[in-house]
Amino acid sequence: MADDAPTGVGITAVGVAVMRMAESARPDRLFVDPLAGPFVAAAGWRPPAPDEITADRRGRLGAMAAWVSSRTRFLDDLLLDATAAGGIRQVVLLGAGLDARAFRLPWPAGVRLFEVDTPEMLGFKQRVLDEHGATPRCERVPVAVDLRDDWPAALRAAGFDPRARVAWVIEGLLVYLDEDRVDRLIRDVASLSAPRSRMGITASSARSCDAWRSTVGDEVAAMWISALPEAPEPWLDGYGWSATAVDARDKLRDYRRPAPPREDGAEPTWLIDAVRA
């Protein structure tokens, strides 16, 4: 691995980039992420040898890759709808990781996209972006702060306007925060959101997370410490958001992709579109 490659929770960002790289290479791809490959290469990731992975685990990893592809396309569509049709001009990616939406989506004029993540993650990301001469297609504002610290203050200091509508992305993040921090984060997001703001969340219930643990391995599974309630819509209503939650498998079918089977006892992996009251 590279000396500045992501560690800890940041390792999962590399894993997501691997899956986005694979999706981008498909003839029936749901999106194209030209920076996923450079991020993966810079992190020093190498694919496992064929004899290092069982057929069962390969199938589970394929199902997880389908989940990542589904959620990526879902959030792409949500953001473009919020900014183009909805007229929102602020976008915030919480726990942005190696997200390349600032560079790959056709943003309307005037969009400011804030990427909130740790200094270490954003430093690695910027090195790769600089090495490849990547140019954002909107105004990109990195905000280097740990989400366990006072990120709302850092976001405002970076130029975020809480009086203007905003589109939030909370993708693959909440599972790494304990319940108190999840509650605080959603409350902070609500306090910074003007009426008719949008929010996209991807998350799973506890039983769904349990079904995935053997797929991601012990190191990542140990970092999964939280999950959404089984009914996310009334949960978000309590924070002032009107939400619609769909199963990622149903969304895959909308994209004309076969959906992987659900593990026995597992519940949906949620794709949530919410509007601030």
Q: What is the pLDDT of residue 195?
A: 98
Is residue 66's pLDDT more than 80?
A: yes
Please, what is the average pLDDT of the chain? 88
Q: What is the pLDDT of residue 222?
A: 62
Calpha distance 190→211 (Å, rounded): 31
Is residue 197's pLDDT more than 80?
A: yes
Calpha distance 45→190 (Å, rounded): 37
Computed on alpha carbons and rounded to an integer, the radius of gyration of the chain in Å comes to 18
- Amino acid letter, residue 225: I
pTM over 0.85: yes
Please give the structure tokens belonging to residue 236: 């978000």
- pLDDT-derived band at 18, boundaries 50, 70, 90: very high
- pLDDT-derived band at 227, boundaries 50, 70, 90: low
Ranges 3-17, 35-49, 91-105, 128-142: which has the least confidence: 3-17
DSSP letter string, 54-96: -HHHHHHHHHHHHHHHHHHHHHHHHHHIIIIIS---EEEEET-
Q: Are strands 198-204 and 269-276 parallel, antiparallel or unpaired?
A: antiparallel
219/165: higher pLDDT: 165
Q: What is the pLDDT of residue 4?
A: 78
64/165: higher pLDDT: 165
Q: Give the pLDDT mean for 47-55.
A: 66
Is residue 61's pLDDT more than 80?
A: no
- pLDDT-derived band at 269, boundaries 50, 70, 90: confident
Ranges 12-16, 86-90, 225-229, 270-274: which has the least confidence: 225-229
Q: What is the pLDDT of residue 213?
A: 56
- The full set of domain ranges for the chain reads 55-276
Residues 6+ apart with CB under 8 A from 219: 11
Q: What is the pLDDT of residue 114?
A: 99
Is residue 218's pLDDT more than 60?
A: no
151/230: higher pLDDT: 151
pLDDT digit string, tens, across residues 152-183: 999 999 999 999 999 999 998 988 888 899 99
Give the rounded percent of residues in the chain with a pLDDT score beyond 90. Answer: 69
In the CATH scheme, what is the homologous superfamily, with its name and number, of domain 55-276?
Vaccinia Virus protein VP39 (3.40.50.150)
- Encode burial over 77-91: b for 16+ CB neighbours within 10 A, e otherwise: ebbbebbeebebbbb
- pLDDT-derived band at 41, boundaries 50, 70, 90: very high
Is residue 224's pLDDT more than 60?
A: no
pLDDT digit string, tens, across residues 100-135: 999 999 999 999 999 999 999 999 999 999 999 999
